[in-house]
Amino acid sequence: MSYVDTHNHQAGWSVDASIPLQELVKEARDLGLLGVTLTDHYDYNGEADNDWCLDVDAYIEHMKDKRQADLNDLLILTGIELGYTPEHKAHMVEVSLRPEFDHTILSLHFHRGIDPYYDPDGVVKGYENHKRFTSTLINDIADSAIAVPKANTIGHYDFFSRYLPWQKSKFNYVDAPDAFDRLFSIMIENGQSLELNAGTIHRLVGKSYSLEEALPDEMVLRRYKELGGHLITIASDAHRSGKLAELTSHLLAQVNALGLTPCYFKEQKPYDMSHSRL
Ligand SMILES: [Zn+2]
Ligand SMILES: [Zn+2]
């Protein structure tokens, strides 16, 4: 598959990952990918030495010699997944500006301090319905995009939909049109890409959606394009063996059919899959 997989984790640098970099790279070559971006976790909680927060200098040193200059070989890019919390936005901005990164992804993993993976009921407490929750979450993501405007990508906008306690938990445009429009306007202004993350598809299929239903809502993508968005990053968000490029062919097909541009970031600039600068 001819694309750069832009969001992946490696053992030793993300506490929830078990695949060593060497193995991930071998998988990428075997699959015929153009490249792979490592985006290990940086979930800062005020203390840099928590388990979910890598040591930036050590990580940059570790990744330093990995990128290949030869475009006929696999691109190995150095990224980071910044877990946003409003309390630490100044710190997030600082890390996002480190020039050594090829690609910075801004992600929201908590709502009101609650991780939906561990407490799906707690995270929706007080919300009347799915629409209200979706709208709040998408607005929270829009706030993060304003706070860290130089982050290259908004990671998995639909992360929370994976874990919500209700049966039908997908994030659809129709549930929060104003919030999506606000988010997309900010992202487009900032030059940020919209990430489509196969991890969500995987989870939604596990929650009784068919594969087709579990793909990102087409209205979301159409509206992003209508408002002037074109940059899309495709991510398997692999954490272990055998996950790289899983389900991403469906995302690529969807994106290409809509005339959006799958891209990757190198030195924090977007490129298409022919390695042309966008
Ligand atoms: Zn994430
Ligand atoms: Zn991730």
DSSP assignment of 13-73 equals TSTT----HHHHHHHHHHHT-SEEEEEEEE--SS-TTSTTB--HHHHHHHHTTT--S-TTS
Residue 274 alpha carbon to ligand 2 centre in Å: 25
User: What spacing in Å lies between the alpha carbon of 156 and ligand 1's midpoint?
Assistant: 7
For CA atoms 245, 248, 253, 256, the dihedral sign is negative
Residue 72 in this model has a pLDDT that exceeds 80: no
Domain of 146, CATH number, reads 3.20.20.140
Residue 277, domain member (yes or no): no
Domain that holds residue 134: 4-272
Q: Taking the chain, what is the end-to-end CA distance rounded to the nearest angstrom?
A: 21
Ligand 2 centre distance from Cα of residue 175 (Å): 25
Does residue 17 surpass a pLDDT of 80? Answer: yes
Task: Answer whether 0.75 is exceeded by the pTM.
Answer: yes
Ligand nearest to the CA of 107: 1
185: CA distance to ligand 2 center in Å?
24
Which residue shows structure tokens 């490129």?
271
pLDDT band at 69 (very low <50, low <70, confident <90, very high): low
151 C-alpha to center of ligand 1: Å? 14
211 part of a folded domain: yes
Residue 278 lies in a domain: no
Span from the CA of 42 to the centroid of ligand 2 (angstroms) = 10
**Residue 139 lies inside a defined structural domain of this protein:** yes
Centre of ligand 1 to C-alpha 158, Å, is: 10
Hey, what amino acid is at 172?
Answer: N
**pLDDT > 90 in the chain, percent:** 93
C-alpha 81 – ligand 1 centre gap (Å): 7
> Within 10 A of 22 (CB to CB), how many other CB atoms are there?
10
Buried b (16+ CB within 10 A) or exposed e, 92-107: beebbeeeebbbbbbb
Q: How many C-beta neighbours within 10 Å does residue 121 have?
A: 10
Q: Is residue 198 assigned to a domain?
A: yes
For residue 155, the CA-to-ligand 1 centroid distance in Å is: 7
- Tell me how many domains the chain contains: 1
- Ligand nearest to the CA of residue 117, numbered in listed order: 1
Whether residue 52 lies inside any domain: the answer is yes
Mean pLDDT, residues 167-177: 97
**CA 147 to centroid of ligand 2, rounded, Å:** 20
Distance from the alpha carbon of residue 109 to the mean position of ligand 1, in angstroms: 6
Q: Mind listing the pLDDT tens digit for each residue in 92-115?
A: 999 999 999 999 999 999 999 999
Neighbour count for residue 15 (Cβ, 10 Å):
15
3-state secondary structure of 226: helix
